[in-house]
Amino acid sequence: MRKESAAVRFLYGTKLGRVLLKVFTTPMISKVSAVFLSSRASRLFIPGFVKRNGINIERFVVPKGGYRSFNDFFTRKLKEKFRIDANSTLICPCDGLLTIKKINNDAIIEAKNSKYSIAELLVDNALATRYSDGMALIFRLTPSHYHRYCYCASGNIIRQRRINGILHCVRPIAVRSQKVYTQNSREYTVMKSHALGVIVQMEVGAMLVGKITNSKECHPKSIAIIGVEKGYFEYGGSTIIVLLEKQYHISRDICERKKINGEIPVTIGESLTGDISNA
């Protein structure tokens, strides 16, 4: 289990650190960081980052002449398209660490000792009532993960929404001390699936991730196709939350995996429930 860095422990575990958080979590700091991380000078950080995080660069497309910037490397693409089981109706939208949460009748979920109202998360009371007896799938991406993500299911896109906010990191120590998921900048897509009903797929930004880039091709009446790229995060750890109206049996293969600090390692494109339309 990877320990929290000294800097993260200072920011979230001390009084002075929490004072500085008010500055570091503002969108402006992320915007300034993004400018540097998109500059040619930032390429100097790539070799150390690859080594420190054990990234197998052979899996990814490397442009002729190398990556133009750190963010160019961070938003890298896979060489080969990941495979999706033809019977899958719900898949992992990203590489990451998964937490599975049942939502009780009060529409509250708990994550890392923090409680979140679905209404607070969505900023939409009417939509939140759909998930009062459903489930939340929380995928936390660390800096070492692949930061492109896809649609977790197929369906008609009903609407999309962006909620501006501040930008905490999403490491466990931050989630324990701050209501990160309802404070951070986030975007979500509401889609109607034949097999799953109305699904929410939400992207949550994090410290130094001021930019969530979703496809511009989507519009309120467009179609989401399972496995098709939805967008990507720029530098930092991030989170994707999927809300389902009902509670489904998640694949035994996934549930029985060795957990990392209570979270389940998953890979983009993996089937979560198989063909639940016949369940």
215 an active-site residue?
no
* Alpha-helical regions (H) of 65-219: 70-74, 118-122, 125-128, 172-177, 180-183
Contacts of 106 (CB under 8 A, 6+ apart): 132
> Is there a contact between 95 and 268 (Cβ–Cβ < 8 Å)?
yes
Residue 212: helix, strand or coil by DSSP? strand
Residues forming a β-bridge with 265: 97
Please identify which of the residues 88, 185, 238, 251 carries the catalytic annotation.
238
For the chain, the first-to-last Cα distance in angstroms comes to 36
Contacts of 141 (CB under 8 A, 6+ apart): 94, 95, 96, 97, 147, 233, 237, 238, 239, 240
Please identify which of the residues 95, 185, 193, 271 carries the catalytic annotation.
95
95 an active-site residue?
yes
Catalytic residues: 95, 238
